[in-house]
Every structure is written in C-alpha cells, then in structure tokens.
Chains A and B, each alone.
Chain A
Amino acid sequence: NAGVTQTPKFQVLKTGQSMTLQCAQDMNHEYMSWYRQDPGMGLRLIHYSVGAGITDQGEVPNGYNVSRSTTEDFPLRLLSAAPSQTSVYFCASSWNSGDTQYFGPGTRLTVL
C-alpha cells in the first residue's frame, strides 16, 4: 500500500514551459486535492475532485488545470509556467470531505 505518491520530487522550469505534476493514490479515496505551500502562508487549495470525472476550483486555480479520469490519478497541469508558480506542491486524498487527509511527499517546483 503506497498511499499517495507524487512525481517528480523536484523540477526546474523556464518561464513559459508546461508540465504535469503526477499524483496517484491506492486507497480508493474519492476526494483528492492539490495544494501549494509558500513561505509564510498556509497551504492553499488549487483544485480538488470529489470523484472520477468531477473537478472544481479551489482558492488559487489560475494557471493550473486538472482532470480526474480514474479514481486513482489526479494530475496537475501547468499550462505556461510563471515565476509566481515557484512553490512546493502537495497532493492529498481522503474518503470524503472533512475526513483525515493523506498527503503525498510534495514536489518542489522552481520557475526561472
């Protein structure tokens, strides 16, 4: 049981490049979410999903896209990277809203 996995662990991009951050969970959780963590700020919700085929925006969705074609996977796409997207990104999953969340190890992204 791997829990929540994220790849890559580290990534450096140039402004304007695109990339996908991968997230997968093997606990059959319905709820998955993406957060970014910046110094001096709490975790902020980017996008979330309450089940396969269902996604919605969080607090800071601009510049990011998501899809949920399977229960297990919830990739986050950066369409055209900007220096303001330099951050640590965490994926999390839980059975339902309000339940204990299980976090991935994080992806540290730097945009030059």
Chain B
Amino acid sequence: KNEVEQSPQNLTAQEGEFITINCSYSVGISALHWLQQHPGGGIVSLFMLSSGKKKHGRLIATINIQEKHSSLHITASHPRDSAVYICAAAPSGTYKYIFGTGTRLKVLA
C-alpha cells in the first residue's frame, strides 16, 4: 500500500462542474502539498497545507490532520483546468517528500 493514495485516478468533467480530488496519507507530516502538472509537463505548486483550509481563486484545499486526509476542490471548472493534480506529503522529521500517483483531470467544453 502506498503511503500517499489519491482518488480518483482519472476524472472527466463538464465545464462548470464542481470537482473534488482526494488524498489520503499514512505518515505523520509537517505539510501536505498539492501540485499541478500541465499537459506540457511543467509542475507548479498550488498549495501547502499544515492545517485547515486555503483558497486561491477557484481552487480550495482542505486538510484533516486527525483523519490524514486532504481534498482539492475546483469550483466552476474550465477546460484550462485540465491537468494532472498531484498530492505530496512532507513527512515529519525527514526531507523526503512522498508523492501520490496523480489524478488526471479532463474538463470538456
């Protein structure tokens, strides 16, 4: 069992839909990251969370430390949101990030 699990692996949505991507982890962490990988391959960091909730534009990320679970929400999805979304755990006391396998999102116009 991977230490960081994401679901779903693939997701197709219609433009305007509300999207949720889930991430569960089994290690103690200092932070949980959400990354976006564009179709061209570049990776950018979206959020870094250690508690609670963060919002940036149409993106919302939440984390429940007790349940070891995080979610990434996209409101009013748009075709330009099509990308792979990756969850990464920064385990406490180490420098070794652990990555989920990613959720491939396709938003149709």
Contacts and interface: CB of A to CB of B under 8 A. Distances in A.
B100 A42 contact: yes
Give the interface size class of chain A.
Answer: 20 to 34
Contacts of A106: 41-43
Interface stretch (A17-25, A64-72, A76-84, A92-100): A92-100
Interface stretch (B14-22, B72-80, B91-99): B91-99
Chain B residues touching A, majority SS: strand
Interface residues of B, number: 24
27 contacts: A41-B101, A42-B2, A42-B4, A42-B99, A42-B101, A43-B88, A43-B97, A43-B99, A45-B96, A50-B95, A56-B95, A59-B96, A97-B90, A97-B94, A98-B30, A98-B48, A99-B31, A99-B48, A100-B33, A101-B45, A101-B88, A101-B97, A102-B45, A103-B45, A105-B42, A106-B41, A108-B41
